Amino acid sequence: MPLAREAVELLVQAARAWYFEGNQHGLRDREWMALRFLGRANRFSRTPSALAGFIGATRATASQIVKTLEGKSFLVRKPSHEDKRSVVLHVTAQGEKCLSQHDPINHVLNAVTALGPDECVRLRDSLREILNHLDAAHQRLDASICRDCMFLAERGPGTGKGRATAEFMCRLYRAPVSLDETELLCTSFERTRDRPKIEEHLDRARVANQG
């Protein structure tokens, strides 16, 4: 127990990198959280309502944050391809640059990267395990990576005319998902613990892409 407490206290200290008073490089911590999320979210989750859910804010607060980020030219709204009545939020090149140069979590990211790949995998798996326990208590995760979602299916051969780049299908949205998109965050994610077939396919595809 003392060891567990010490580990949690260290986690809380690490969290000070992304929860802070005032602003850093012109953005408050929630504005950074929103920009960071939108930079990593898939097309289904880059909506004002998904953003509000992810940052734990009301629609009105999320809308104010979007306006602030638009005012700094970090975000633009575009009509959704799937539903013309909806808008999708896009991080601009300027927003991407701001994230890569000034995001307050970059220091933590660099420190974790310095641990090396094996330690990174252990840390990721331990944190995921912890979140799974919290997930059971709170019923849902805010968002997670598409490749681990129970709605992701492999596309059958010969389907999807004109969408040759899509290798997967989202069974929830009934829409194609490309290999790159499987690495993005989704707020509709549902965990599945036993999907060795797709994991193997993704691992093979990743290795082929690197080669």
Binding site for ligand SF4 (CB under 6 A): 42, 44, 146, 149, 151-152, 170, 172-173, 177, 186, 188-189
Asked whether the beta carbons of 62 and 53 are under 8 A apart, the reply is no
Asked whether the beta carbons of 65 and 55 are under 8 A apart, the reply is yes
CB of 43 to ligand SF4, least distance (A): 8
Asked whether the beta carbons of 187 and 54 are under 8 A apart, the reply is yes
CB of 170 to ligand SF4, least distance (A): 3
Count of CA atoms in the C-beta half-sphere (13 A) of 89: 28
Asked whether the beta carbons of 148 and 141 are under 8 A apart, the reply is no
Burial of 32 (0-12, 13-18, 19+ CB in 10 A): buried
Which lies closer to ligand SF4 via its Cβ, residue 37 or residue 44? 44
CA-CA distance, 39 to 199, in Å (whole number)? 24
Which lies closer to ligand SF4 via its Cβ, residue 119 or residue 200? 200
Which lies closer to ligand SF4 via its Cβ, residue 17 or residue 172? 172
CB of 202 to ligand SF4, least distance (A): 12
CB of 49 to ligand SF4, least distance (A): 15
Which lies closer to ligand SF4 via its Cβ, residue 27 or residue 89? 89
CB of 174 to ligand SF4, least distance (A): 9
User: Residue 63: helix, strand or coil by DSSP?
Assistant: helix
Which lies closer to ligand SF4 via its Cβ, residue 87 or residue 172? 172
